[in-house]
Amino acid sequence: MRKIKILVVDDHTIVREGICTLLGLSPEMEVVGETSNGMEALDMVRTFVPDVVLLDISMPIMDGLEATHRICREFPGVKILVLTQYGDREYVFPIIEAGARGFINKTAASSELVSGIRSLYRGDSFLSPSVARFLVEDYQLEASFRKNQDPYEQLTDREKEIFKLLAEGYNTKEIAEMLVISPKTVDGHKTRLMAKLDLHSRVEVVKYALRKGIIRV
């Protein structure tokens, strides 16, 4: 059986040697090289063409981000598994954009590291639970921000209800009868919702509702 070829890159000697020793215990894995900086890592990738590069983020001479950019550009078939820690969250999105396929927290169990390498070798991605958690948190914060920036989300439930009825073609009197409120109240809601959405005609209301998927043709 062909072994998974791994390059270990970390500027902390004791961490690097510990990882190499751990991986050496697995009959399916082979550490083909180890180094302490991104520049040497790039040279070793050119020499050994490993299947997986286990790469620290913060390193001298060339950091993990730059090394990931250059390795993925030259060797798109080589998978990058990044060593990270909780305080490195600001690096995660840039390194994903650079081409990294997985993240392992430095506090992870040895079994998790082995699982991550296997996943990347199979062509999958892998995230340590702690890294996955703050990626989800960041996504939720961004989604919440987008939602709060959406003018439609600033409408009250009643305004959304009236907006939909307007887009469906009902007039003020019909909406008032359907919702059991006065035409004057409908007009008040209509004025406010159109101001919030910066709409100025029934045609614009319909177009906006179609774009948002509130109504369908």
- Judge whether residue 136 has pLDDT over 70: yes
pLDDT in tens, 38-69: 999 999 999 999 999 999 988 888 898 999 99
pLDDT average, residue stretch 187-193: 91
Range 103-106, long-range pairs (CB < 8 A, 24+ positions): 103/127, 103/128, 103/131, 104/54, 104/128, 104/131, 105/129, 105/130, 105/131, 106/15
In this prediction, residue 150 carries a pLDDT of 78
Looking at per-residue pLDDT, the higher value among 158 and 151 belongs to 158
Using CA atoms, how far residue 135 sits from 103, 125, 175, in Å, is 11, 14, 44
pLDDT in tens, 63-113: 989 999 999 999 999 999 998 875 566 777 788 888 999 988 888 888 889
In this prediction, residue 186 carries a pLDDT of 92
Q: Which domains does the chain possess?
A: 4-133 (3.40.50.2300), 151-211 (1.10.10.10)
Residue 216 — pLDDT band, cuts 50, 70, 90?
A: confident
In this prediction, residue 121 carries a pLDDT of 95
pLDDT average, residue stretch 150-174: 90
- Judge whether residue 31 has pLDDT over 80: yes
